[in-house]
Amino acid sequence: MTTPGRLPQPYGHDSGANLADILERVLDKGVVIAGDIRINLLDIELLTIKLRLVVASVDKAKEMGIDWWEDDPALSTRARRDELARENAELRERLAQLEPARGQEEAS
Amino acid sequence: MTGLRYVYAICRPFRSALQRQLTGVAGSPPKQLTHHGLIAVVSTVPETDFAEEPLRAHLEDMEWLTTTARAHQQVIDALTVVTTPLPLRLATVFRDDSGVRTMIEAREDDFRRVLDRLEGRVEWGVKVYAEPESAQAAGPEEGAEGAEGGRTGGAAVSGRDYLRQRRMRTRAREDVWQKATAFSGRLHETLSAFAEDSRLHAPQSAALSGASGQNILNAAYLVPRAESEEFVELVDREKDDAPGIRVELTGPWAAYSFTGEFAEEPEVEP
């Protein structure tokens, strides 16, 4: 038997703003049990919903606060890191161009 | 009889009654199905909506999915108030009660093990957002940039000035992002030390979430319900007032993110 302890008031999961949180949990977390009705939710989640949101209904996606493609490894943080990496590469290239020139200057 | 059984969660027997008006995913009230000392919380759903073909079609309908997900979560929330549910993924459906019983028998050791581990615990969600725009507007570099900008009388900005401005904007953004990242790291460390367990989830998309700013941290913490108030206070205390950093707390959730040690069944193709 469980005796519930006192819990603080819920922090808004009834509001529409948290639909992304709800969907994240009920679709992506929780225990997977194969029922009698076999639906591969992963297919629908990652392919169908993803494609529908991207292609057909960006506004809806915004409203829902959800995007499955970002659950893929290509996160926005990574995109940012890529940008940094690209800038770094550009700088190194620039440096490489400058270095030989300076080397010649010093030699002469 | 054309009703199927939709299973929300598995839990141990609990004493308190569920809210009387509670309705499940298809509008009928959830019931408890007791078997081998465990309880499956189920409701009857129409075959016309939850058989394989209609269900597959429905899951592609965002309106339907939204309504169903909310109804599912509402039942899980109600259970979380009175017991420690092991939440199942959306749309776990059986032909009849005997199918549910068979499933319980097949997995009862797993259920008990995870239920024991989660007993009396809830999940809290904590997200940190970086909001570079607001910070940049208040940032000290903005003035300097404006003064040095050299935009006089519609003259084209020189390449050097353009690059400098661009670099400054990038740096301001980077600053906020780095601060928010460092802050997230510290916050996560503090909260993990308090919580029994924690999970880092993929950040939610900034562009599409409707929430302002970029989601840097999206974490879940497993906390005994008795310590929940303390956890909430801890989050409040650790909140950073720095411009451009926003902390968002959600919960208490059923321990969705901590059922991971529950081995998944191999997917069987129909």
Domain check: are B55 and B140 in the same one? no
Quick check: B7 and B92 in contact, CB under 8 A?
yes
pLDDT for A7:
53
Domain check: are B69 and B44 in the same one? yes
Q: For A28, which residue in chain B has the nearest alpha carbon? A: B89
DSSP-assigned letter for residue A14: S
Of A11, A48, A76, the CB nearest to B60: A48
Contacts of A1 in chain B (CB under 8 A): 12-15
Q: Do the chains contact at A38 and B107, CB–CB below 8 Å? A: no
Of A48, A57, A75, the CB nearest to B203: A75
Among the listed residues B8, B167, B166, the one whose alpha carbon sits nearest the alpha carbon of residue B75: B8
Q: Do the chains contact at B251 and A17, CB–CB below 8 Å? A: no
Domain check: are B53 and B133 in the same one? no
DSSP-assigned letter for residue A11: B
Q: Which of A6, A15, A27, A39 to mutate to test the interface with B (most CBs of B within 10 A)?
A: A39
The ipTM assigned to this model is 0.81
Quick check: B196 and B224 in contact, CB under 8 A?
yes
Domain check: are B89 and B187 in the same one? no
Q: Do the chains contact at B52 and A34, CB–CB below 8 Å? A: no
Here the CATH number for the domain that contains residue B142 is 3.30.70
What is the mean pLDDT of each successive set of 10 residues along chain B, which is 270 residues long?
89 87 92 96 96 88 86 94 94 95 95 94 93 55 42 65 87 84 92 94 64 83 96 90 85 91 49
Of A23, A25, A64, the CB nearest to B253: A25
Domain end point (choices B119, B144, B171): B119
pLDDT for B173:
80
Domain end point (choices B102, B119, B136): B119
The number of helix segments (H) and strand segments (E) in chain A equals 5, 0
Q: What is the mean pLDDT of residues A42-47?
A: 58
Q: A41: pLDDT confidence band, cut at 50, 70 and 90? A: low
Of B4, B88, B99, the CB nearest to A30: B88
In a domain, B114, yes or no: yes
Domain check: are B95 and B203 in the same one? no
Residue A60 has pLDDT above 90, yes or no: no
Q: For chain B, what percent of residues have pLDDT higher than 90?
A: 54
Domains of chain A, residue spans = 17-72, 73-108
pLDDT for B157:
75
Number of domains in chain B: 2
Q: Do the chains contact at B92 and A35, CB–CB below 8 Å? A: yes
Q: What is the mean pLDDT of residues A18-42?
A: 81
Quick check: B118 and A62 in contact, CB under 8 A?
no
Residue B41 domain boundaries: 3-119
Contacts of A38 in chain B (CB under 8 A): 52, 268-270
Q: Do the chains contact at A31 and B10, CB–CB below 8 Å? A: yes
- Reported as a single tens digit per residue, the pLDDT across A77-104 is 444 456 666 767 777 777 777 766 665 5
Q: Do the chains contact at A70 and B203, CB–CB below 8 Å? A: yes
Q: Do the chains contact at B52 and A32, CB–CB below 8 Å? A: no
Q: Do the chains contact at A30 and B122, CB–CB below 8 Å? A: no
Give this prediction's pTM: 0.73
Domain end point (choices B85, B119, B153): B119
CA dihedral of B216, B221, B227, B233, whole degrees rounded to 10 = 0
Q: Do the chains contact at B65 and A23, CB–CB below 8 Å? A: yes
Domain check: are B70 and B130 in the same one? no
Among the listed residues B231, B224, B229, the one whose alpha carbon sits nearest the alpha carbon of residue B255: B224
Domain check: are B57 and B131 in the same one? no
Q: Which of A4-13, A60-69, A84-93, B14-23 has the highest mean pLDDT?
A: B14-23
Structure tokens given for A48? 């169908």
Domain check: are B218 and B204 in the same one? yes
Domain check: are B144 and B233 in the same one? yes
